[in-house]
Structure 1
Amino acid sequence: MNAIITASELASESAGPRPPVLLDIRWQLGGPNQRSAYASGHIPGAVFVDLDAELAGPPGKGGRHPLPDPDAFGAVMRGAGVSGDRPVVVYDGGQGWAAARAWWLLRWAGHTQVRVLDGGLGAWTGPLSAETPGPAEGDFAPVPGSLPLLDADAAAALARSGLLLDARAPERYRGDVEPIDRVGGHIPGAVSAPTSANVGEDGRFLTPEALAARFSGLGATGKTDEVGVYCGSGVSGAHEVLALEIAGFPAALYSGSWSEWSSDESRPVATGPEPQ
């Protein structure tokens, strides 16, 4: 199954005999909960899922958005109508980060039929609804480990033995600014690969060929267990893993990312434009 779906494909499938489960993952970094935006209008049938509260555990030593407890995550997904044998489509307001986080978590937890709406809600040309659906309880039971996951030590090792991509903005990678975490810079050996370069001006992913050329130019070869990704807290990094999948490159996510790495003063920090 493709990792992304177009708005026209979604409209067609939603009108079919077995429509996909729809999850609205609108989210604003550092901003208010987007439930009110969802209530004002969403794709008909979509269930709102709160990234901060339901797609992450409590902030702490594991970073700002550590992985949620699998049992709690499974309960949220079942309440949204997710079953193991039914396709799921996730979308957000258009940036793609939040939807990719939901895509990654579901895939990591063993769901094999998950797609992201390319371009998010802004790509949808059909009607919107203000009605909150009441889906039947799903049967999805998470089986964690279906996608590769890195911890801090594994990310450090991969930066030297393979390719570790830093999905944050270049100025944060260089350490010029750091608006959120304790210190700026990057994991030594990591290569700058901003998430923003995965999409065009319309917010939709570049073609698989263009993405493959991008990641090949950064050093990816397609070998299993060779590529890893991190970001600030494991959200935009999921978007990069999604882009890599579209391009045909398997990749692992360091979910703790820079928020976890930089909180430990014993871990080294590189600055400047080069991996070091």
Structure 2
Amino acid sequence: MSLLITPDALADLIAGSAPVRILDVRWRLDRPDGRPEYLAGHIPGAVYVDLGRELAAHGEPTDGRHPLPSATQLGQAARRWGIDDGDTVVIYDDFTSFAASRAWWVLADAGLPDVRILDGALAGWVASGRPLEEGTVVPEPGAVTLGRGFLPRLSIDDAARLPDSGVLLDVRAAERYRGDSEPLDPRAGHVPGAVNAPTTGNVDADGRFLEPEALRERFEQFGVGDDRPVGVYCGSGITAAHSALALTLAGFAPQLYAGSWSQWSNHPDRPVALGSEPGGRP
């Protein structure tokens, strides 16, 4: 089953008889509420998903800024979105599929078998010449049954140990990895041993994921290989899901450290590395 879908293929799904549920997950750090933009124009039939409230829990700072939602929280949200068992779920956002990838990871981890990202995001749909609709979509409640733990993940202790036996990728921008600046979290730097592989390198100029062969070559340059476990983290577990998807497309089996830097940096007992090298300086 493909993890990506083109605008043409999505249009065919919408026109066909198979059940499909489209989720609009617009979210950015500088604009966490994407509902106004959703109301102004979205793919016909798409339901708005609130990432902060429905795809993340709210815990202590030591849990990170966007902890994974509980099974109960996610199940309630997915039924609100109208998802039933057996549905194909297509997810998009309006910013290079970062937020959409978080939704993909959470739903795939919950056991949904057919979850896909609209490659090229909303801009790709618009560029294909297809229409948008205004207003809100309120579907009949679904009856989907969800689980948890279908995808591999890392705890904070797992993330600390992984560089000894595998590759831990830090997919934040280089300046945050180095510790030059930290606008969001209490300490700057990176997990000792982590390798910097910014998420932006997963896509082309149009926001589409690189071909699997190109993604594989990219990650191999960071030391990723079939014989070594690979984990991935970012600031708060959002863009890390994007790289988890890219790694999956490349044929690897990534483990997501969902707490990410926002959790690690809130634990004063955890060491911090600075600079451009994985080990850095204390």
**TM-score with structure 1 length normalisation?**
0.97
Partner of 1:162: 166
The Cα shift of 1:227 comes to 0.6
CA distance in 1, matches of 2:260, 2:99: 16
Partner of 2:94: 93
CA distance in 2, matches of 1:32, 1:94: 12
Letter in 2 for 1:52: G
The Cα shift of 1:32 comes to 4.5
Partner of 2:17: 17
Match of 1:142 among 139, 143, 146: 146
Output one character per residue of 1:7-37: Cα deviation in whole Å (capped at 9) or x when no partner.
Answer: 1111111111114210000112132511111
**Mean alpha-carbon deviation: is it higher for 124-133 or for 47-56?**
124-133
Aligned residues: 275
1:136-215 maps to which residues of 2 (within 5 A)? Answer: 136-215=140-219
> For residues 202 and 262 of structure 1, do their structure 2 counterparts lie closer, same or farther at Cα, with a shift above 3 Å needed?
same
Partner of 2:104: 103
Output one character per residue of 1:186-218: Cα deviation in whole Å (capped at 9) or x when no partner.
Answer: 100111010000011111111111001001111
The Cα shift of 1:134 comes to 2.7
Aligned-partner SS, 1:150: coil
**Mean alpha-carbon deviation: is it higher for 177-186 or for 130-139?**
130-139
User: Are residues 1:268 and 2:281 paired?
Assistant: no
CA RMSD of aligned residues (A): 1.2
Partner of 2:231: 228
The Cα shift of 1:130 comes to 1.1
User: Are residues 1:218 and 2:219 paired?
Assistant: no
CA distance in 2, matches of 1:142, 1:50: 19
Letter in 1 for 2:199: T
Letter in 2 for 1:250: A
CA distance in 2, matches of 1:145, 1:134: 29
Partner of 1:242: 245
- 2:102–2:239 CA contact under 8 A, matched in 1: yes
Aligned-partner SS, 2:63: coil
Letter in 1 for 2:237: G
**Mean alpha-carbon deviation: is it higher for 131-140 or for 202-211?**
131-140
> For residues 183 and 216 of structure 1, do their structure 2 counterparts lie closer, same or farther at Cα, with a shift above 3 Å needed?
same
Partner of 1:36: 36
**Mean alpha-carbon deviation: is it higher for 10-19 or for 205-214?**
10-19
User: Are residues 1:252 and 2:255 paired?
Assistant: yes
CA distance in 2, matches of 1:208, 1:271: 32
CA distance in 2, matches of 1:105, 1:229: 15
CA distance in 1, matches of 2:271, 2:176: 16
The Cα shift of 1:83 comes to 1.9
Partner of 2:79: 78
Q: Which runs of 5+ in 1 are unaligned?
A: none
Output one character per residue of 1:70-106: Cα deviation in whole Å (capped at 9) or x when no partner.
Answer: 1011111011011231110000013211000000000
Aligned-partner SS, 1:102: helix
Letter in 1 for 2:96: Q
The 4+ residue runs of structure 1 with deviation greater than 6 A are none
CA distance in 2, matches of 1:105, 1:24: 15
CA distance in 1, matches of 2:203, 2:63: 29
